[in-house]
């Protein structure tokens, strides 16, 4: 099948029937749009997501390249690298036969507790906007379309489809809309996805103000606007507001209802045409990718892909402490690797960002590959929220690693029931929202049996856990151990549709083979259907963990630490704790992690802590630690990226894209996070992240923009100029361009990179303003002893403006402004001042 051709949009629009037009403005399934073959209109394929391209299947999908999570990408402060990341995502999309990538995510991290905070780049809208533009530009150079999301105010998961985000106009413009504005200005994304939530009383998917007035008229956005999945709640309202396509299909609010709305004159025919026109224009944009309609889903697992993933994983790492020069570690000393994250590849967060990786390198594997002699290991404590998923240590009845899943139409009470499908799976984290079989009728239940063989290495009590959207029971050698069918409790699993995890324990003998069997009924069999938001295929998650006491676990870790010359302590969160569908309740590390850290630090002072999370955590032991690296969720090459930095094969250069507060109560959104009776008040206004901590003079654990290196750098001779300014400005554009220059020198240590950050502040504002705001940055790579001049440019109107709620426009106020430069928000030095001689207003990009 050949790639499809561009359409003459207006001629095609004239030839479409009303039924065809109605079909085009909603999806036909989870990932595809409506085709009209007679007019050459293909079915386009969409695919998640923000840190990799999954393809069309949550269930038993095609392996993919997983990049570091959004905060990890933001930590690079490297727009050239992020554009390269975008290009690789475009190649991945082509391999998956996808025309449109549902990413990047550029919502704001107003609280460390946001479940999807890890997906976004930064707490700062300028860094987020520049990072998003770079990724989009990279993606779209391949002809694949990028989709910025979630527009706007989708900054928490709690009650996300109903919550009313109450935000001042000024905060909305300066913080929450700003990254979208910058990304559209600098990259021209061809698609945008609306948020689930309301903003100031109206769902965004129904808001003509945000979709038409701001996005299309004020900013001149010409791309397609799609809903988030199941994020449409009306027919006429969403169509009239400017929402072009309702995803996924089959639609609940469009289809035949569009014809009725047109007949009732609630939707004008010209309005329907406007929505269809954007779909046809998207088709034309997608011709540039060369991807065929309904293309084969393949892979792009090449040495080039692996090399880039490893490079980005290393560049995302932020070195937070290195007292006494513990790092880099020696490759010849005896080494203990300790911690619950050591032998687990914590490569991505949960929800839409998750995917099946080509491979996933654990920190232990990455470290072991560097050492002359193998490291010792102790887990020390567990860090799971739900029991670790089975698959890594089990085998299918076919002998392959993982497990086997057989499907049936009838329940297990039916003797001699027909098996309709059978497959081997890598693990038992199973989402069936997109599973299909011709023998399963729509909205009808089906059933499955999961079987895995398990041989314990240690005689012990083992705990099994089952979460389900549907019903499930787990048996060990035909003995019932977990019942999550008879009585069910609502939980967070499967985007909030599933049950809480039910657990059961059984003693197992080392070396003996046991048969794990799970009987499953699809989503429609669930007793929790009132919570369901997914397709009725449902989902199942089965976990297993060896039980041991906290005391015994920490004792084994201490023994390992004492016996080694150097220790790597691998701790943090995982996709259980940070996921789409729910928020965190606190900033705590899981379980006994803090006890483990204290004990290991006391046992061996040469301990390096590797911390993985997508957003901040509390660190009560921070003063006792000498070396700390933050490694985010690092993608397929997580372990190798960590090891490259640990042993000095890569000089760390990452910077924090968000502030790490000391405790959760310090966060400005602490009193106003989570939905209360359907609303959340953005009471911190424009003061999120460093803007708040600096204004309130609050101490933080680690500031925005902070990150150490194995080298030392100097920033000297900073100066700035104002170019192209009119003598008598009549518009904000006449204020010209501010360009900062500075000389950066690698004064000691190996080759490495530094990030120069430009901040601007107003001297005598007539409204409260942050102490300073990031306006631009530049990353420079230097050999030992090398110096380079860096430049950072920004328009004066962007550098000075805030949103004037009286005039409903940006205002560059007549005043004196200070330019500062530094390598972190906490270490800036004043460069000089400039004047804006006349107050001017502006709108647009």
User: How many C-beta atoms lie closer than 10 Å to residue 361's C-beta?
Assistant: 25
Q: Are strands 198-199 and 202-203 parallel, antiparallel or unpaired?
A: antiparallel
Structure tokens, 653? 């250069």
Contact call for residues 333 and 566 (beta carbons, < 8 A): yes
User: How many C-beta atoms lie closer than 10 Å to residue 841's C-beta?
Assistant: 16
Q: Are strands 447-454 and 514-521 parallel, antiparallel or unpaired?
A: antiparallel
Phi, psi of 595 (to 5 degrees): -65, -40
**Catalytic residue check, 492:** no
Q: Smallest Cα–Cα separation from 384: which of 521, 222, 546, 528?
A: 546
Contact call for residues 66 and 635 (beta carbons, < 8 A): yes
Contact call for residues 190 and 140 (beta carbons, < 8 A): yes
Q: Smallest Cα–Cα separation from 537: which of 440, 466, 426?
A: 440
Distance CA 191, CA 197 (A): 19
Catalytic pick among 159, 228, 246, 644: 228
Long-range contact pairs involving 772-776 (C-beta distance under 8 Å, separation at least 24): 772/694, 772/818, 772/820, 772/825, 772/828, 773/126, 773/691, 774/124, 774/126, 774/127, 774/704, 774/705, 774/825, 775/126, 775/738, 775/799, 776/126, 776/740
Q: 688 has which bridge partners?
A: none
Distance CA 664, CA 584 (A): 11
Contact call for residues 658 and 580 (beta carbons, < 8 A): no
Contact call for residues 108 and 152 (beta carbons, < 8 A): no
Helix (H) or strand (E) holding 94: helix 79-95
Q: Smallest Cα–Cα separation from 576: which of 366, 339, 382, 745?
A: 382
Q: Smallest Cα–Cα separation from 618: which of 673, 568, 664, 665?
A: 664
Structure tokens, 343? 């032998």
Phi, psi of 376 (to 5 degrees): -85, 165
Q: What is the DSSP letter of 702?
A: B
Q: How far is CA 404 from CA 274, 387, 423, 520, in A?
A: 49, 20, 6, 13
What are the strands of the beta sheet with 145-151, ordered from one edge?
Answer: 46-48, 100-102, 145-151, 191-194, 224-226
Active site residues: 228
């Amino acid at each position: 099948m050949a790639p499809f051709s561009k359409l003459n949009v207006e001629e095609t629009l004239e030839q479409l029937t009303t039924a065809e037009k109605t079909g085009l403005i909603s999806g036909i399934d989870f990932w595809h749009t409506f085709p009209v073959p007679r007019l050459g209109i293909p079915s386009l394929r969409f695919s998640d997501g923000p840190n990799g391209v999954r393809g069309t299947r949550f269930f038993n999908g095609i392996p993919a390249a997983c990049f570091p999570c959004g905060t990890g990408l933001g930590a690079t402060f490297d727009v050239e690298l992020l554009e390269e990341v975008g290009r690789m995502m475009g190649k991945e999309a082509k391999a998956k036969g996808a025309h449109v990538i549902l990413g990047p995510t550029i919502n704001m991290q107003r609280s460390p507790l946001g479940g999807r905070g890890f997906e976004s780049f930064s707490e700062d809208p300028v860094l987020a906007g520049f990072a998003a533009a770079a990724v989009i530009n990279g993606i779209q150079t391949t002809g694949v379309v990028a989709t910025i999301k979630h527009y706007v105010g989708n900054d928490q998961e709690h009650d996300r489809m109903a919550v009313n985000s109450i935000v001042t106009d000024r905060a909305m413009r300066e913080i929450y809309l700003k990254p979208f504005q910058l990304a559209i200005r600098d990259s021209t994304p061809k698609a945008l996805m609306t948020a689930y939530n309301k903003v100031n009383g109206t769902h965004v998917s129904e808001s003509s103000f945000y979709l038409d007035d701001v996005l299309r008229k004020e900013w001149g956005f010409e791309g397609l606007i799609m809903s988030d999945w199941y994020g449409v709640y009306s027919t006429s309202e969403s169509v009239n507001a400017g929402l072009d396509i309702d995803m996924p299909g089959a639609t609940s609010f469009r289809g035949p209802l569009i014809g009725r709305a047109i007949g009732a004159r609630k939707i004008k025919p010209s309005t329907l045409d406007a929505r269809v026109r954007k779909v046809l224009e998207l088709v034309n944009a997608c011709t540039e990718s060369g991807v065929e309609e309904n293309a084969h889903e393949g892979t792009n697992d090449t040495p080039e892909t692996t090399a880039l993933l490893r490079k980005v994983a290393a560049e995302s790492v932020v070195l937070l402490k290195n007292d006494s020069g513990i790092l880099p570690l020696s490759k010849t000393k005896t080494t203990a690797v300790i911690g619950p994250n050591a032998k687990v590849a914590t490569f991505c967060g949960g929800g839409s960002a998750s995917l099946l990786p080509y491979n996933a390198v654990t920190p232990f594997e990455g470290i072991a590959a560097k050492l002359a002699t193998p490291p010792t290991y102790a887990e020390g404590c567990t860090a799971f929220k739900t029991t670790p998923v089975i698959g890594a240590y089990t085998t299918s009845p076919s002998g392959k690693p993982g497990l086997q899943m057989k499907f049936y139409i009838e329940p297990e009470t039916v003797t001699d029931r027909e098996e309709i499908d059978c497959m081997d799976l890598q693990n038992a984290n199973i989402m069936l929202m997109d599973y299909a079989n011709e023998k399963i009728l729509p909205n009808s239940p089906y059933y499955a049996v999961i079987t895995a063989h398990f041989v314990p290495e240690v005689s012990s009590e083992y705990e099994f856990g089952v979460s389900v959207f549907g019903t499930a029971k787990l048996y060990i050698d035909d003995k019932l151990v977990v019942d999550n069918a008879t009585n069910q409790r609502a939980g967070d699993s499967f985007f909030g549709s599933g049950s809480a995890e039910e657990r059961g324990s059984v003693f197992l003998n080392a070396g003996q083979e046991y048969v794990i069997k799970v009987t499953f009924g699809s989503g429609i069999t669930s007793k929790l259907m009132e919570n369901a938001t997914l397709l009725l295929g449902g989902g199942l998650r089965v976990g297993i963990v060896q039980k041991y006491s906290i005391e015994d676990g920490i004792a084994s870790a201490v023994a390992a630490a004492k016996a080694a010359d150097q220790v790597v302590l691998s701790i943090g969160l995982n996709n259980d704790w940070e996921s789409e569908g729910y928020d965190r309740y606190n900033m705590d590390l899981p379980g006994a992690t803090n006890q483990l850290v204290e004990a290991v630090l006391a046992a061996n002072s040469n301990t390096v802590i590797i911390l993985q999370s997508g957003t901040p955590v509390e660190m009560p032991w921070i003063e006792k630690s000498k070396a700390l690296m933050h490694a985010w969720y690092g993608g397929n090459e997580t372990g190798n990226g960590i090891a490259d930095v640990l042993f000095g094969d890569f000089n760390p250069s990452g910077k924090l894209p968000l502030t790490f507060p000391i405790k959760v109560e310090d966060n400005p959104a602490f009193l106003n996070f989570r939905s209360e009776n359907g609303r959340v008040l953005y009471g911190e206004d424009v003061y999120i992240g460093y803007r708040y901590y600096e204004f309130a003079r609050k101490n933080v654990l680690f500031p925005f923009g902070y990150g150490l290196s194995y080298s030392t750098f100097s920033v000297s001779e900073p100066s700035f100029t104002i170019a192209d300014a009119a003598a008598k400005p009549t518009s904000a554009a006449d204020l010209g361009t501010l360009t900062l220059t500075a000389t950066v020198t690698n004064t000691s240590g190996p080759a490495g990179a530094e990030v120069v950050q430009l901040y601007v502040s107003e001297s005598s504002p007539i409204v409260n303003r942050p102490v300073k705001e990031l306006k631009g940055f530049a990353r420079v790579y230097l050999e030992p002893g090398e110096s380079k001049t860096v430049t950072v440019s920004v328009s004066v109107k962007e550098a000075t403006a805030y949103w004037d709620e009286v005039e409903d426009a940006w205002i560059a106020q007549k005043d004196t402004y200070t330019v500062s430069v530094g390598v972190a928000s906490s270490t800036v030095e004043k460069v000089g001042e400039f004047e804006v001689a006349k107050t001017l207003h502006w709108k647009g990009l």
